[in-house]
Structure 1
């Protein structure tokens, strides 16, 4: 198979496959001395891009619980995760060998109650608390930019977020 036919074949497969599902946590906190909400951005391990914690479905776990778990593993945060997503975004995930697959990410807000000193991916990523506006400026995915702006407006307007468990875990 020539390189051109291989590339054409991979492009054809990418276009035919439905997007793979992932779940993410939009981690946030309300600072007592500030009126605006802050959100947590982390860097990806491979490219160093600014992202939010996300991962693949886990057998036996509901989607909001997966988002909560990824926030712990990737950013070391614990808190109250909402049961319902606030939206979704799409992106092309780079895989080994250069292939990119289309992913759709459902996003669940998670109110951070605790930041842990020790967690599974400690030392492999950077993390920063920023405003929603700054987060939107840093991330690459256009739909995620929109979600940060929408989340900011929702918080300004006193939008209620229903926690999944009612307790920090």
Structure 2
């Protein structure tokens, strides 16, 4: 187990990303249900949230909103308050890997467009937060998905 000093060094060396936790609400006769959106990554095909690198002249939640559209065709209302963050290991184009810390912002989906920039490179899937937690690899993201559902009463 790394020492707290080593962990601090790892976080200092980590690269920042911003993600959208895209969700929609549905009411049935008995209760309100929540679904979250996952997409496949372009390189490994694993299930992830739309995310990307910081952008000049954009606030973190605006980056998350733009990535949601580019990677998943999602339009909606993004919160400027993150629900948390998670870490993962990103493989770069040169074959090296870097630890990324991803700050994740909830985005209430209003529209899911059929035409969007990365439509031919990704698959979209709606799932309950519990199902989504089973699909993703990152343990911190699993916890965020379950916690988020609890906050919304799902």
TM-score by length of 1: 0.81
Distance of 2:80 and 2:115 partners within structure 1: 26
**Is 2:42 the partner of 1:42?**
no
RMSD between superposed Cα atoms in Å: 1.6
Q: Return the offset for 1:136.
A: 0.4
Task: Kindly report structure 1 stretches of 4+ aligned residues shifted beyond 4 Å.
Answer: 14-17
Task: Specify whether residues 16 and 141 from structure 1 end up closer, same or farther in structure 2 by C-alpha distance, changes over 3 A only.
Answer: closer
**Is 2:19 the partner of 1:24?**
yes
Match of 1:96 among 78, 93, 98: 93
**Is 2:78 the partner of 1:84?**
no
Task: Specify whether residues 15 and 155 from structure 1 end up closer, same or farther in structure 2 by C-alpha distance, changes over 3 A only.
Answer: closer
Structure 1 stretches of 5 or more lacking a match? 1-13, 158-169
Higher alpha-carbon Rg: 1
Contact 2:38 2:48 survives alignment (8 Å)? yes
Task: Specify whether residues 120 and 155 from structure 1 end up closer, same or farther in structure 2 by C-alpha distance, changes over 3 A only.
Answer: same
Q: Return the offset for 1:132.
A: 0.2
Distance of 2:113 and 2:10 partners within structure 1: 41
Match of residue 113 from structure 1: 110
TM-score by length of 2: 0.89
- Number of equivalent positions: 144
Structure 2 stretches of 5 or more lacking a match? 1-8
